[in-house]
Amino acid sequence: MRVANACDRAAIQRIAELEQSAAPVGPLLIGEILQRPVAAVSLADGSVIADPFAATSELVELMGVRARQLRGSRTPARGAEGWRLLGWRVSR
C-alpha cells in the first residue's frame, strides 16, 4: 500500500474500467498484490475501486483504515473492537 503518483493513472483507470465505475478523485492510496495495483482509495472522500478479479477485500479494508488515519480521523478504534477491525479474534 502506498500513496499514488502520476505514474499510476493508467493502472487506476484500468481498475475503474474493470469495475465499470469512475476513478476516484483527489489524492489516492494504491493497494498492490505482487507489485500489481489492484485497488485505490480516495483520501478525499473514501471512495474505493478494486479489481473484481483479484482477492482484494482484506486489502481494501486495511486501506480504508489507513486512509482514515491519513485524513486525521479523531475517532480511533479502542479495545477489542479495534482488533476486530484488523481481523484478529479477541477472547474475553
**Do 53 and 33 meet the contact criterion of CB atoms below 8 Å apart?**
no
Q: Helix, strand, or coil here: 67?
A: helix
Contact 57, 77 (CB under 8 A): no
Q: Which residues pair with 41 in a beta bridge?
A: 29, 48
**pLDDT tens track for 64-81:** 999 999 988 555 555 555
Contacts with 14 (C-beta within 8 Å, 6 or more apart), sequence order: none
| Report field, pTM of the whole predicted structure over 0.85 | no
- pLDDT score recorded for residue 71: 85
Nearest CA-CA partner of 1 in 78, 60, 50 = 60
Whole-number Å distance between alpha carbons of 67 and 29: 7
Taking 70 as the pLDDT cut, the residues of the chain under it are: 73-92
